[in-house]
Chains A and B, each alone.
Chain A
């Protein structure tokens, strides 16, 4: 979805390096999410934010941190990358103002493929 952009799209880094993945959205949605996708494990939630002042841990937050710089921006950091953080990372948004149920519809970005050597 062009309304949710992620940078970089691909990144190769070394163990121990700090890396930041960035997400921007023009949909005007309040809620933003970070997921990682691994083969056979599906989409697992790392962190989510329901507004600028609200940050929540997801299923697999260890080793990650996030920053919600503005309503439209939500970044994910790996303070000291390790090889098992090699994965496809997705940012997503949802619209709090939508009808109940539909407010949970996730709009995903194109993903960042991260490789940690």
Chain B
């Protein structure tokens, strides 16, 4: 119940395409769903996050879509660029101050020039 399942494990997309990374969770107590971006040789960094009271959130070319009934959320990257090539992690937490965050296993994204 504490798991966050992420797919695909790796993804190759042509420049300008729209890569989509999916995550699913079981624990309905989760109420905060961030995405982290990690470039080679760096630590992960927060990219965008969503709360379950909205179905979509956009920040620049990055969009999170959230489906509460299906317990799924996804990251879409519009007009993808080679510089978006990175590993992406979804995550979930209950948002209460005594809990920790649960990460998906990550997706290695490569955008072809």
A residues within 8 Å of B by Cβ?
A: 1, 4, 33, 40-43, 45, 48, 50, 58, 90, 92, 94, 96, 100-106, 108-111
Contact = CB atoms under 8 A, between A and B. Distances in A.
Contact of A101 (B6, B32, B36, B100): B32
Nearest to B50: A101
B15 interface: no
Interface stretch (B37-45, B61-69, B74-82): B37-45
Interface string B91-113: 00101111111011110000000
Secondary structure class of chain B's binding surface, majority of residues: loop
B49 interface: yes
Contacts of A90: 43-44
B108 to A, nearest CB: 9
Contact of B43 (A40, A50, A104, A108): A108
B46 interface: yes
Given A1-B45, A33-B100, A50-B98, A101 B31 contact: yes
Contact of A100 (B34, B45, B89, B97): B97
B43 A92 contact: yes
A100 B105 contact: no
A43 B97 contact: no
B9 interface: yes
B101 A104 contact: yes
17 contacts: A41-B105, A42-B105, A43-B44, A45-B100, A90-B43, A96-B97, A101-B31, A101-B32, A101-B51, A104-B101, A106-B46, A106-B101, A108-B44, A110-B43, A111-B41, A111-B42, A111-B43
Nearest to A98: B97
